[in-house]
Amino acid sequence: MAHISFQGERYSASPGESVLDCLLRHGIALSHSCKSGVCQSCIVRATSGEIPAKAQSGLRDTLRAQGYALACSFIPESDVEIALIDTELLRTRAQIVGIDPLNASVMQLRVRPEKPIEHRAGQYMNLVRDDGLVRSYSIASVPDEDEDLCFHVALVADGRMSGWIHSGVARGATIEILGPVGNCFYVPGASEQPLFLAGTGTGLAPLFGIVRDALRRGHTGTVHLFHGSIRPEGLYLMDELRALAIQFPNLRYYPCALQGEAEGVSIVPVDQLSLKTVPKLNGHKVYLCGHPDFVRMMQRKTFLAGASLADIYADAFLPSPS
Ligand SMILES: Cc1cc2nc3c(=O)[nH]c(=O)nc-3n(C[C@H](O)[C@H](O)[C@H](O)COP(=O)(O)OP(=O)(O)OC[C@H]3O[C@@H](n4cnc5c(N)ncnc54)[C@H](O)[C@@H]3O)c2cc1C
C-alpha cells in the first residue's frame, strides 16, 4: 500500500486510488474539476517519490521537469510526498468586462486578465470562482485580434458555474483563470492544407477562434466548418460566420440541426452532413469539439475517412463529476 505525505500528515492510499481521491477522502479540499486528467485544475507537485507518466500527460516539459503532476491521474505505486503549488505561477486574476447573450442559452463571457497570458485560440482556460469552483472553457477569441479573452458558456440545468455566469455574476467582478491548456489550435506552416472543423453546441467556441486565427494568418486551403445543434435556435454567430465566408471565399460554413426549420440551416445530423460533404479526409487537419459522445464518434469516423491520427485534434467537453 502506498502512502501519501501531505502537509505534515501521512495518508494510506487504497489500491488503484489516485492522490486526489485519497486526499479528498481524508477531507482535504484539493482544487479539482474534470477528474479525467483534462482540465489540469488539480495540479500538485511531487517533492519525492515516483511520478507515473500518466500523471504528467499534457503538462509542459518545464512543469514535468519540476515534478508537477495531476493529482487525479496520479496513482502512486510507492510512497510519495505531495505539495501544493504556488498558484501565483499558474493563476491570473481577471476582470469580467462583458456578459452578452449569443442566443437564449449561450452567453459570451469576456474577461480581461491583469497580466498578459500567452495563449492560442482554441485552447481552454480553467475559470476559478472565489469559492474554489473550477470549470474549463474554450477560448473563442484570437490573440492580437480580440482585446479580451472570450468564452461561450452554455447554460446547464442546475449548473453551478454556468448558472452563475448566466445570472449571478456582474460585470466588473473578478475571477481567477488558470491555463491555458490543450493542443487544439491552429498550427501555422501548412497554409494550403484543407481544414475540417466540426462541433456541437458551444463546441463552436474553440472552432470560431481556430478558424479566425487560421484565416488571419493567411491560410489558403479550404476551411470546412460544420456547426450542429438540436434545433436551429441552438446555433449562434451565424451572421458573423456567413459574413466571414464572404470575406474569405476559402471558408465554407455549414450550420445544421437535428430538427426544426430555419433558412440556410440543414436539418441533418452534423456527422452525416460533414462526412457527406467531405467524404475523404486524407491530408486534412481535423478539429472536433463539443459533446463527448459526438467527439468520440467523430474521432472514429474521421479516422476511417482517411484523416491521420496525428492530424485529429479534439476537445471533448467532459462534465465535472458531481
Ligand atoms: C476541455 C473542456 C472545455 C470546455 N469548454 C466549454 C465551453 O467552451 N463552453 C461550455 O459551455 N462548456 C465547456 N465545457 C464544459 C464546462 O467545463 C462545464 O462542465 C459546464 O459549463 C457545466 O458546468 P456547471 O458548473 O455549470 O455544471 P455542474 O454544476 O458541474 O453540473 C450540474 C449538473 O449538470 C450535469 N451536466 C454538466 N454538464 C452537462 C452538459 N454539458 N450536458 C448535460 N448535463 C450536464 C452534471 O452532471 C450535473 O448533474 C468544457 C469542458 C472541458 C473539459
Mean pLDDT value of segment 221-228: 98
Nearest CA to ligand 1 atom 38: 319
Whether the CB-CB separation of 209 and 139 falls below 8 Å is answered with yes
Average pLDDT score over the chain: 94
Going by pLDDT thresholds of 50, 70 and 90, the confidence category of residue 193 is very high
- Measured in degrees and rounded to the nearest 5, phi and psi for residue 113 equal -65, 150
Nearest CA to ligand 1 atom 33: 159
Q: Rg (Cα) of the chain, in Å, rounded?
A: 21
Nearest CA to ligand 1 atom 10: 153
> What's the pTM?
0.89
pLDDT at 150: 98
Q: Write out the three cell numbers for 61.
A: 516539459
Q: Write out the three cell numbers for 76.
A: 502512486
| 91-103 sheet: strands from edge to edge | 134-138, 124-128, 174-181, 91-103, 106-113, 149-154
Return d(Cα 11, Cα 22) in angstroms, integer. 8
Is the CB of 184 inside a 6 Å radius of any atom of ligand 1? no
Q: Classify 202 as helix, strand or coil.
A: helix
pLDDT surpasses 80 at 62 = no
Q: Write out the three cell numbers for 308.
A: 491521420
Nearest CA to ligand 1 atom 36: 319
Mean pLDDT value of segment 261-283: 97
pLDDT surpasses 90 at 22 = yes
For residue 35, report the distance from its CA to the centre of ligand 1, in Å: 13
Per-residue pLDDT tens for 89-101? 678 999 999 999 9
Q: Which residue has the cell 465554407?
A: 252
Question: Among 107, 155, 156, which is best to mutate for testing ligand 1, by the most ligand atoms less than 8 A from CB?
Answer: 156
Return d(Cα 262, Cα 255) in angstroms, integer. 10
Mean pLDDT value of segment 298-322: 93
pLDDT at 87: 66
For residue 121, report the distance from its CA to the centre of ligand 1, in Å: 20
pLDDT surpasses 90 at 51 = yes
- Going along the chain from its start, the domains and CATH numbers come out as 3-85 (3.10.20.30), 89-181 (2.40.30.10), 195-316 (3.40.50.80)
Return d(Cα 58, Cα 75) in angstroms, integer. 16
Mean pLDDT value of segment 206-213: 98
Residues 6 or more apart whose Cβ sits within 8 Å of residue 103: 233, 234, 235, 236
Going by pLDDT thresholds of 50, 70 and 90, the confidence category of residue 168 is confident
